[in-house]
């Protein structure tokens, strides 16, 4: 959840000051609020009493994206060769668990592994912020205190139930954590103990995490054995105002409108509920999507996010990416290419911190400087064109 936020370039503001006495009073109120929800005094005292606020999360709560990330850049980083290879390795390594998960929840291994890959890079990136500190801060300061109070109480229930150790509770600034990056309230509703040790542990147990992901999709209306969608071609003059995930029609309507599959397979004349997705408008790839796409969408409420998972799952099934090209002459960069770009920026003297494949504000500033030097539009967006230009050694390097 909230994975899409992590991939955007975001401008950070300095942490605001806070009123220590008001924070203490808030913690006292939180204790009685939590007690009313079944949290014991000892649980509260052990985990929240004395927790210092981390006001840097308030800046993250209010930040705005630095600029719009194009869909092809977003997908180039999430559905890249590395994630496909890692995903195939995970399919093999956890084959028996995934088969049991499919039997129990009806969700295929490729979809479950694709969610895992996009949410936490198969357990590689959980987030680093202490959850209780972030949630205590956000429960007492900022503009969504009631929401975060609910998440704090849910976290305390997870601890009180003995599902997760307190030391394992690190995650995103907003509280998503573990292999599946569930928010604590989602965790309480959806997480399952699949390895049978009596604990629902989405940090320490991969079987619990994979089964919980499948359980989430099942509860979101997953239809076993059905496709998420098909890439399609539109006839000339097609009325694109019919597109949109929530503009659902019977599948036979699209046939009548002249829509065909790019792979030449027939579209069945059925009343299956379906919608047309044009993520980059008329000129980019088009998909007819079904109910399973909506189930994936519900995980993070972003179409780009759902498409990343759906396309990664297809790649794990051995299919290729979209047939139609994205409407750009300067395609986006994979994570390996982003790391290469960062190494080239460092070689040219830019102080951008670690080579991590994440193009944050320091990398963007360096990209702008190089674009200016090269006579390109200085928009801070890095594509293959800039990478190629920088790969040519500069004089004196
Ligand atoms: Ca377990």
Place of tokens 């792979």: 263
200 CA distance to ligand 1 middle (Å): 5
Whole-number Å distance, alpha carbon 190 to ligand 1 midpoint, is 13
**CA–centroid distance, residue 63 to ligand 1 (Å):** 36
User: SS3 for 6-61, per residue?
Assistant: HCCCECCCCCCCCCHHHHHHHHHHHHHHHHHCCCCHHHHHHHCCCCCCCCHHHHHH
Residue showing tokens 């719009």: 68
Distances (CA, A) of 169 to 110, 146, 218, 352: 27, 21, 26, 29
Cα 197 to ligand 1 centre (Å):
5
d(CA 33, CA 350): 50
What is the distance in A from the centroid of ligand 1 to the CA of 204?
8
CA of 164 to the centre of ligand 1 (A): 10
Q: What is the pLDDT of residue 326?
A: 96
What is the CA(209)–ligand 1 centre distance, in A? 9
Output the CA 97–ligand 1 centroid distance in Å.
Answer: 13
Euclidean distance between CA atoms 178 and 203, whole angstroms:
4
Query: What is the tens place of the pLDDT at every residue in 233-283?
Result: 999 999 999 999 999 999 999 999 999 999 999 988 888 999 999 999 999
Residue 3: the pLDDT is: 42
| pLDDT value at residue 67 | 66
Sheet holding 273-277, edge to edge: 249-250, 273-277, 286-289, 229-233, 260-261
Q: Separation of 120 CA from ligand 1 center, angstroms?
A: 19
d(C-alpha 201, C-alpha 179), whole Å: 10
Reported as a single tens digit per residue, the pLDDT across 3-34 is 444 434 444 445 567 889 999 999 999 999 99
Q: 18 C-alpha vs ligand 1 centroid, how far in Å?
A: 39
Lowest mean pLDDT among 61-70, 325-334, 380-389: 61-70
- What's the distance, CA 134 to chain centroid? 19
Confidence class of residue 376 from pLDDT cuts 50, 70 and 90?
very high
Instruction: Select the more confidently predicted residue: 271 or 41.
Output: 41
Q: How far away, in angstroms, is 192 Cα from ligand 1 center?
A: 7
Residue-wise burial string across 140-176, b where 16 or more C-beta atoms lie within 10 A, e elsewhere: bbbeebebbbbbbbbbbbbbbeebbeeebbbbbbbbb
Q: Give residue 223 CA to ligand 1 midpoint distance, Å.
A: 26
Mean pLDDT, rounded, for 292-309: 94
pLDDT in tens, 153-210: 999 999 999 999 999 999 999 999 999 999 999 999 999 999 999 999 999 999 999 9
Give me the residue spans of the domains in the chain. Answer: 2-219, 229-316, 335-391
- One-character DSSP codes across 344-386: HHHHTT----S--S---HHHHHHHHHHHHHTTS---S---HHH
> Ligand 1 centre and the CA of 158: distance in Å?
13
Two tokens, residue 367: 């990209």
Tell me, in angstroms, the distance from the centre of ligand 1 to residue 241's CA: 47
165 C-alpha vs ligand 1 centroid, how far in Å? 12
The Cα 79–Cα 121 span in angstroms is 11
Distance (Å, rounded) from C-alpha 386 to C-alpha 89?
A: 32
Read off the tokens for 78: 């999430």
Return the pLDDT at 15.
Answer: 57
Query: What is the structure's pLDDT at 319?
Result: 95
Can you say whether the dihedral through the CA atoms of 199, 204, 210, 214 is positive or negative?
Answer: positive
| Integer Cα distance of 315 and 292 in angstroms | 17
Cα 163 to ligand 1 centre (Å): 8
Residue 285 C-alpha to ligand 1 middle, in angstroms?
41
**Gap from CA of 195 to ligand 1 centroid (Å):** 5
């Amino acid at each position: 959840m909230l994975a899409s936020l992590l991939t955007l370039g975001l401008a950070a503001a300095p942490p605001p000051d806070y009123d220590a006495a008001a924070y203490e009073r808030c913690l006292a109120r939180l204790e009685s609020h939590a007690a009313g929800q079944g949290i014991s005094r000892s649980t509260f005292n052990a985990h929240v009493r004395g927790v210092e606020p981390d006001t840097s999360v308030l800046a993250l709560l209010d930040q705005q994206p630095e600029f719009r990330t194009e869909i092809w850049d977003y997908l180039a980083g999430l559905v890249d060769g590395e994630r496909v290879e890692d995903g195939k390795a995970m399919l093999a390594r956890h084959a028996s668990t995934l088969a049991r998960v499919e039997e129990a929840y009806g969700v295929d291994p490729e979809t479950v592994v694709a969610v895992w890959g996009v949410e936490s890079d198969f357990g590689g990136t959980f987030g680093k912020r202490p959850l209780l500190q972030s949630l205590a801060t956000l429960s007492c300061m900022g503009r969504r205190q009631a929401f975060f109070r609910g998440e704090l109480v849910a976290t305390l229930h997870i601890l009180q139930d003995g599902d997760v150790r307190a030391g394992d509770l690190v995650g995103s600034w907003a509280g998503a954590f573990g292999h599946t990056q569930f928010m604590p309230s989602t965790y309480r509703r959806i997480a399952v103990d699949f390895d049978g040790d009596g604990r629902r542990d989405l940090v320490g147990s991969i079987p619990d995490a994979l089964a919980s992901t499948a359980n989430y999709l099942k509860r979101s209306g997953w239809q076993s054995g059905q496709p998420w969608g098909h890439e399609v071609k539109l006839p000339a003059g097609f009325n694109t105002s019919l597109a949109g995930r929530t503009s659902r029609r019977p599948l036979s309507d699209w046939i009548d409108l002249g829509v065909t599959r790019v792979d030449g397979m027939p579209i069945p004349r059925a009343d299956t509920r379906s919608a047309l997705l044009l993520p980059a408008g008329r000129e980019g790839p088009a998909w007819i999507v079904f109910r399973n796409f909506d189930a994936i969408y519900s995980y993070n409420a972003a179409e780009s996010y759902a498409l990343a998972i759906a396309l990664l799952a297809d790649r794990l099934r051995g299919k290729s990416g979209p047939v139609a090209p994205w409407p750009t002459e300067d395609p986006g960069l994979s994570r390996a290419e982003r790391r290469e770009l960062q190494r080239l920026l460092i070689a040219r003297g830019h102080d951008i911190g670690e080579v991590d494949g994440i193009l944050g504000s320091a990398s963007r500033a360096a990209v702008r400087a190089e674009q200016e030097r090269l006579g390109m539009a200085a928009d801070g967006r890095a594509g293959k064109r800039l990478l190629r230009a920088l790969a040519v050694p500069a004089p004196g390097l």
